[in-house]
Structure 1
Amino acid sequence: MTMKKIPAIQALYDLCKQTFSPSAASPPSSQAIKSLSSLMDSLGPADVGLTDAGKEDERGHGPFGVQFFNRVDRWAQPITYVDVHEGRNFTMCIFCFPTSSVIPLHDHPGMTVLSKVLYGSLHVKSYDWVEPAQIQISAGPQRSKVRLAKLVVDEVLTAPCSTSVLYPRSGGNLHCFTAVGPCAVLDILAPPYNESCGRSCTYYRDYPRSSFYVKEDESVSGEEDEYAWLAEVATPDELYMRNQKYTGPAIKI
């Protein structure tokens, strides 16, 4: 008698449940994150129910088929958000990007996030705040506040590639995604966004370090382009996203 193989997405859910439960170590140990990353590394589009991954963009349909898009969507395709699992301790979700679509620079307060590119190529630009905080007030009628951040990642990730991990204070907690071509990303967010718990998603715009004068500080070392000033902005109007039902292997909760 042969044992039925557990679907990879079920195994990932089970490991997340073990890693991010209230009784588990908080924050998770480096070994726990390494185990999750290793398991995510092995996942591909088929493991989460994605099909025709490389062809979606030119047809204007998307990886779930033509029935989920209309003629308007052909010319203004949204980023598709797929909710795989949403819970109190962690969220598993998929973002499917048409070419050149963008999730603008945003943060993940108090969160650990694992991201795995399932197919295609994605440009990632991420920052961490410089500590202690360096804050400037811009001139002009708006007098907006900017805070200094250090660049952590500025590169294109192409599947198959390793899982990326960011932490509450390191690893590029503030990041921006830009699709080089049609691509999809599997994300695990732990704990998930929750406004009542102080975990709201805030968007930012980055400015070159030279845009604002700052007194020389020995704690800030490196080249000019390794730093940027970040200003909080409203949710960008161009962020065009739609929800889609998860159609991959069922997960036993």
Structure 2
Amino acid sequence: MGFERSLADRKGKQFFELPKETTKNNKSRKNRRRSKKPSSPIQKLYETCKQVFASTETGIVPSLEDIQRLQSVLDKMKAVDVGLSPEMPYFRTTADEGTPPITYLHLYENNKFSMGIFCLPPSGVIPLHNHPGMTVFSKLLFGTMHIKAYDWAEVGAENGILASVDASNGTAPSSIRLAKVKVDANFTAPCDSTILYPADGGNMHCFTAVTACAVLDVLGPPYSDHDGRHCSYYLDFPFTKFSAVDGKSIPEAERESYAWLEEREQPEDLAAVGAEYIGPKIVESR
């Protein structure tokens, strides 16, 4: 999500230095190595992300082997692994509150990848937005969430898909583009993590909390205005909303699988706040 940037001063970035040796006794050091505690799940996720995204750049997708390795780590993540439970204040809402705020917990970010958690109370919404040139892993930690996701439709005479709407009557914006629905369903934890790619898998998506829920996001590379990875928001319209150029190119029975998307400014009712992550700490390695 793009509004992580606006929360930079409240992200609570906290990393602890690795403990230094305080003895020259080789035997003691060996004993400590043997009794070393296993890495926490969030530390393992960080270390895996660091390896998987080591060479990442805009539009570069990790290898299938790396994708499966990172997905395997995420699939095992639970709310308790990041210090969350549905009873926490982030997930409460009141009848007179209006649009419920979403809480963002920052875990880690460098120029290769970022990790964060979105905490949504019931009816909380992360509006339709994109992830330009990015590979994104999402893990629902608990609750039920509705996800609607689109990819830009492949256009051209060879596949018979429309490229634009007929704006000659002045009722349709000329900038509107055709997109294909990739996902439109509820997901309930526990479930596998999902992956979207720069041009496939639902790069533009919207999250709606059916119940209180939390989703852990890993983005590689992260949003960066300087590098052209700016978060854009969209309005979506049914395919039948506008008159289309060569409207017969898509059979009537398939038209519900398509929609028109129009870029918009960040929604004014997007209520997002930052909070300090208080779960198990991440030890940053070099």
For 1:105, which of 117, 128, 148 is the aligned residue? 128
- Distance in 2, matches of 1:188 and 1:94, equals 9
- C-alpha distance in 2, partners of 1:136/1:240? 32
The match for 1:18 is: 51
Which one-letter code corresponds to 1:227 in the other structure? Y
Equivalent position SS for 1:247? coil
When normalised by structure 1's length, the TM-score is 0.87
Q: Tell me how far 1:144 sits from its aligned partner.
A: 4.7
| Letter of the 1:62 counterpart | Y
- Structure 1, 136-145 or 160-169: larger mean CA deviation: 136-145
What corresponds to 1:4 in structure 2? Answer: 37
CA deviations over 1:184-207 (Å, ceiling 9, x no partner): 000001100101111100000111
Q: Structure 1: any 5+ residue segments left out of the alignment?
A: none
Q: Partner of 1:32 in structure 2? A: 66
Compared CA separation, residues 30 and 73, structure 1 to 2 (3 A): farther
1:45 corresponds, among 66, 79, 89, to 79
3-state SS, counterpart of residue 17 of structure 1: helix
Deviations 1:109-159 (A, max 9, x none): 000000000010100000000123713364548845210000000011110
| Larger strand share, 1 or 2 | 1
Deviations 1:154-199 (A, max 9, x none): 0111100000000000000000000001000000011001011111
Correspondence for 2:15 = none
For the pair 1:96 / 2:96, whether they are aligned, the reply is no
Corresponding residue to 1:230 among 229, 251, 261: 261
**What is the TM-score normalised by the length of structure 2?**
0.77
Cα displacement (A) at 1:27:
2.2
Q: Which runs of 4+ in 1 moved over 2 A?
A: 71-77, 135-144
Identity across matched positions, percent: 45
- TM superposition shift of 1:23: 7.6
The alignment yields a C-alpha RMSD, in angstroms, of 2.6
Which residue does the alignment assign to 2:5?
Answer: none
Matched, 1:121 2:149: no
- C-alpha contact 2:61 2:197 (8 A) present in aligned 1: no
Report SS of the residue matched to 1:126. strand
Q: Which one of 186, 191, 196 corresponds to residue 221 of structure 2?
A: 191
Out of 191-200 and 71-80, give the one that drifted further.
71-80
Does the 8 Å contact 2:236/2:260 carry over to 1? yes
- Runs of at least 5 residues in structure 2 that lack an aligned partner in the other structure: 1-33, 157-162
Superposition deviation, residue 76 in structure 1: 5.5
Structure 2 equivalent of residue 207 of structure 1? 237
For the pair shown, the structure with the greater C-alpha radius of gyration is: 2
Looking at structure 2, the residues matched to 16 and 96 of structure 1 have their Cα atoms a distance apart, in angstroms, of: 22
